Chain A
Amino acid sequence: MTLIPAFVSYEFADRKELCLSLAARSGRRVMLVPPLFDEMNRMRKMLIDVMRSLETLEIASFLPDLPGTNESLLPLEKATLSDWQEALEACAQQHQISHIASFRGGALAAAEMQSADHWVFSPVKGATILRTMMRTKVASDREAGLNTSLAELAARAKAGPLELAGNIIGSDLFTQLNAADIPTMKNQRIVRLESDNKPGDVQIPGTALWLRAEPDDDFAMSAAIAQDIAIWIGQ
């Protein structure tokens, strides 16, 4: 019988946040930390296919909501990067997870768990994510006849909440993300696409779904990711 993903929860800051979970028979378990903002939406189906593939490899997986995202009761504009980091630590602890697989900007949220083992897919700096979102805002402002610059948006974001590509980002989150470089973890495996020329420990076939105009999936890529996670976790 094939199991289906179900919601469990974890407690953080007196709230319950949801976490999609897919159990497996063995004791091996991994937390998948999603990309941030629009990239998360574009890659969610691909991540859930990774969970299904992991289940066939007898590895249980957990995909938590970051506070302020998805089904969270916290408004996004109140969320900070430190909240996300602490929330993931709480989730890992409550579900006894020591292996963390983070994707893109999710690596920034997983950065504080130094004692865990990290598998990191195509990590990206916080400033890069913000730059893309600010560019989208500049383009939509231009269509409305406004001439906004990236520097002007960055200054506004530091003064108060700013709407960027449909996300209301508080000034703390903006400042923290803007300063967040790609973390170097004690035990890490950096995974990149075959088309990516940056240094990594392993390359997998697939496409940059985070760039796609609409959410999409890639079964072969999800299977390759699950396979590499299984090798990394070991028996």
Chain B
Amino acid sequence: MQNKVELTPEAAVRAVMRDILGLNEVQVAEFTAETELFGALPELDSMAVAGLLTELEDRLDIMIDDDEVDGELFETFGNLVAFAEMKVTG
């Protein structure tokens, strides 16, 4: 068995966005804190957002409560990364 490798919150968010949107490494590397998400990316519908939250919980070993999730969280890539970092550091 290979051992579990620590993953930074930003790397996890980037990897999950890449998988949801079907992008390649180069495209997803271009995401900056200002990149707009919900509303700007048609693939990011409510089902995709649900999958994103669960996948982040799984990859970062965190739990996300309903009341922590609002529209602002998905406005930009930066907001989502900041949220993931906050959850990981507690």
Contact = CB atoms under 8 A, between A and B. Distances in A.
Nearest to A132: B54
Contacts of B52: 211
Nearest to A131: B54
A98 to B, nearest CB: 24
Q: Which range holds the interface residue count of chain B?
A: 20 to 34
Interface string A188-214: 001000011111110100011111111
Interface string B1-38: 11111110000000110111110000000000000000
A211 B3 contact: no
Contact of B51 (A132, A143, A207): A132
A212 B19 contact: yes
Nearest to A196: B59
Contacts, number: 78
Contacts of B16: 208, 211
A87 to B, nearest CB: 27
A139 B22 contact: no
Interface in A135-153: 135-136, 138-140, 143, 149-150
A175 to B, nearest CB: 19
A163 interface: no
Contacts of A200: 1-2
Given A197-B6, A207-B18, A136 B46 contact: yes
B54 A197 contact: no
B47 A150 contact: no
A211 B46 CA distance: 12
A197 B5 contact: yes
Contacts of B58: 124, 128
Contact of A208 (B19, B44, B45, B66): B19
Contacts of B55: 208, 211
Interface residues of A, number: 33
A199 B50 CA distance: 24
Contacts of A128: 54, 57-58
B7 A207 contact: no
A38 interface: yes
A211 B48 CA distance: 7
A57 interface: no
A195 B23 CA distance: 14
A143 B52 CA distance: 19
Nearest to B55: A211
B82 to A, nearest CB: 21
Contacts of A140: 46
Given A197-B7, A211-B16, A213-B48, A135 B53 contact: yes
Contacts of B5: 197
Interface of B: 1-7, 15-16, 18-22, 43-55, 57-59, 66
